Amino acid sequence: MRILVVGGGTGGTIVANNLARRLAGEIRSKKAQITMLSASDQHMYQPGLLYVAFGQMMPDELYRDQKSLLEASIEFHVDPVERFELDQNQVRTHSGKTIPYDVLVIATGSRIVPEEVPGLAEGGETFYTEEAAVKMFKALRAFEGGNVGIVVGVPHKCPIAPVEVTFSLHDYFKTRGIRDKVHIKYHYPINRIHTIENVAIWAKPEFDRIGVEYETLFNVDEVDAKNKVVKSMEGTEYAYDLLIYIPPHRGMEVIEQNKLGEGGWIPTDRSQLKMQGYDNVYVVGDTTNLPVSKTGSAAHFEAEVIAENIASNIKIGSAVRDYDGKVYCFIEAGHDRATYAMFNYENPPDLKPPNQPMHWFKMSYNKMYWTSVRGLL
Amino acid sequence: MSETKIVDARNTFCPGPLMELIQYMKRAEVGDTLELLSTDNGTVNDVPEWVNKVGHEMVSSEKIEEVWHIKVRKTK
């Protein structure tokens, strides 16, 4: 049984490690083999970028060698896939290799596309790449006061990020002693301040308390970087001195080029996480078209289901688990308090008031991630 | 005539039905009709509010066996 995992992010890495343990006997007896193909020899802890943007983490804290995170029995190659030939059960790689498989796991993730909004990259700051997060920190450090606008592209990874960055901006300027010189205005695409109703119900009075203004039904359409004005599809605009944006995302180009899914998102079964129309192709994490948060947490829970089902199919000829839509997101409510949202397809999150222990748990998790992605936690 | 594309946002709390519709509307062509499926009763008010503000066209809205079917045409 040849299992091929394409992509070495959170989802792909957890699938591969989880499978390597479940199939240790089969791998030893050469009845199963696991291969991972990735575009990079490095693994980034992406949630750490928010801390880099506020000078609380250094970029080098976010990386580990991908090979060091994988079980020794996993064959790992830095050789990204360029062609998916699903009807022949094989892929073709950048180096020219043809790699056949019996089971394929597609975990290629997503990419930011700020260029879809004219002027956004030129006029604003973001923290969704290492380079951007460092640049944003320097912009914040140089900022002495004025209008700060926060705008949100659709769709976007880490749906909690818009509120987290807003709370962090408040705390950052307060710590610098210039909060009274900064006007923060939050703009959100739908008609409440967060898509999760209970997060919106919690965050609204918090925004009121800390003096953050908000405008809903604001989908960023264009940025006039020269005159520092951001405009919405809905016809409103905001004159800013500093613009912070959550970039719109798409799936990876290779998914679009191979016509596996519109926008780079692969049509995926909600519970079995198989690519629609293919019984031996699984999709994990951001790569799916599921109406589930694009987060490492969703990828983690999906990966466990996929690995357990691939292993059980080999051992007893049947899947044993369904994905129930589970997501668990920490929510940083500033620099010293946090809460969390846990939900699935059927049950909305029940938000608790933020507290300091939950913030320290999140700070600990920033380190524990490396245990988690190895499949040990 | 453009075909109607289904946006299945049943049983989703995040990103949620309206956020899903906005995502697909951005990628749709002018003249396309999208049919949003939602199990969230708030959607029946949320979608027309956004559609009217942005200037697209509400085509229809009906509840069939606990699922809202909301059709919207992209006009610009």
Residue A41 — very low, low, confident or very high, per pLDDT cuts 50/70/90? Answer: very high
- The residue segments making up the domain with residue A235 are 123-249
Sign of the Cα torsion A223, A227, A229, A233 reads negative
Tally of domains within chain A: 2
A144 and A172 share one domain: yes
> Span A255-265, mean pLDDT?
97
Please determine, for residue B1, whether its predicted confidence score (pLDDT) is greater than 80.
Answer: no
Determine the Cα–Cα distance for residues A250 and A113; give it in Å rounded to an integer: 7
| A333 domain-assigned | no
B34 is catalytic: no
Name the domain boundary from A249, A265, A297.
A249
* CA distance, residue B51 to nearest chain A CA (Å): 9
Tokens of A118: 């004219």
CA distances from A286 to A12, A172, A317 (A): 11, 30, 28
A201 and A174 share one domain: yes
Query: Which CATH topology does B4-73 take?
Result: Translation Initiation Factor IF3 (3.30.110)
A26 and A135 share one domain: no
**Annotated catalytic residue within B14, B53, B55, B66:** B14
CA distances from A372 to A299, A341, A376 (A): 12, 19, 6
| A352 domain-assigned | no
Q: Tokens 């990419």 map to which residue?
A: A111
The overall average pLDDT reported for chain A is 97
Tell if the CB–CB gap between A154 and B19 is shorter than 8 Å.
yes
A60 and A148 share one domain: no
Q: Which residues of A touch B16 (CB under 8 A)?
A: 190, 195-196, 291
Which residues of B fall below an 8 Å CB-CB distance to A?
8-20, 22-23, 26-27, 42, 46, 49-50, 53-55
Q: Which residues of B touch A190 (CB under 8 A)?
A: 16, 18-19, 22, 46, 50
Name the domain boundary from A189, A217, A249.
A249
Tens of pLDDT, residues A93-131: 999 999 999 999 999 999 999 999 999 999 999 999 999
Tens of pLDDT, residues A129-176: 999 999 999 999 999 999 999 999 999 999 999 999 999 999 999 999
Tell if the CB–CB gap between A154 and B9 is shorter than 8 Å.
no
A174 and A224 share one domain: yes
Q: Tokens 């049984």 map to which residue?
A: A1
| A292 domain-assigned | yes
Compute the residue count for chain B.
76
A127 and A215 share one domain: yes
Tell if the CB–CB gap between A197 and B42 is shorter than 8 Å.
yes
Give the best residue of B6, B14, B40 to mutate against chain A (max A CB count within 10 A). B14
Q: Which residues of B touch A154 (CB under 8 A)?
A: 19, 22-23, 26
A130 and A80 share one domain: no
A151 and A70 share one domain: no
Determine the Cα–Cα distance for residues A320 and A248; give it in Å rounded to an integer: 36
Asked if residues B20 and B9 have their Cβ atoms less than 8 Å apart, the reply is: yes
Closest C-alpha among A14, A100, A38, A29 to residue A314 = A29
Q: Which residues of A touch B55 (CB under 8 A)?
A: 235
Residue B2 — very low, low, confident or very high, per pLDDT cuts 50/70/90? Answer: low
| A347 domain-assigned | no
Residue A376 — very low, low, confident or very high, per pLDDT cuts 50/70/90? Answer: confident
Asked if residues A223 and A237 have their Cβ atoms less than 8 Å apart, the reply is: no
Q: What pLDDT shows up at residue B51?
A: 97
A97 and A136 share one domain: no
Closest C-alpha among A127, A123, A93, A119 to residue A4 = A93
Name the domain boundary from A308, A325, A342.
A325
Give the contacts of B14 (CB within 8 A, at least 6 positions apart): A159, A195, A196, A292, A293, A327, A341, A343
Please determine, for residue A270, whether its predicted confidence score (pLDDT) is greater than 80.
Answer: yes
Q: What pLDDT shows up at residue A375?
A: 83
Tokens of A8: 């070495």
Residue A34 — very low, low, confident or very high, per pLDDT cuts 50/70/90? Answer: very high
CA distances from A54 to A126, A140, A181, A184, A305 (A): 11, 8, 18, 16, 35
Q: Which residues of A touch B26 (CB under 8 A)?
A: 116, 154, 248
Q: Which residues are B64's β-sheet partners?
A: B67
Tokens of A356: 């300091």
| A311 domain-assigned | yes
Tens of pLDDT, residues A284-315: 999 999 999 999 999 999 999 999 999 999 99
Determine the Cα–Cα distance for residues A319 and A308; give it in Å rounded to an integer: 8
| Chain A nearest-CA residue for B76 | A233
What CATH number is attached to the domain comprising A193?
3.50.50.60
Q: Tokens 């901006």 map to which residue?
A: A169
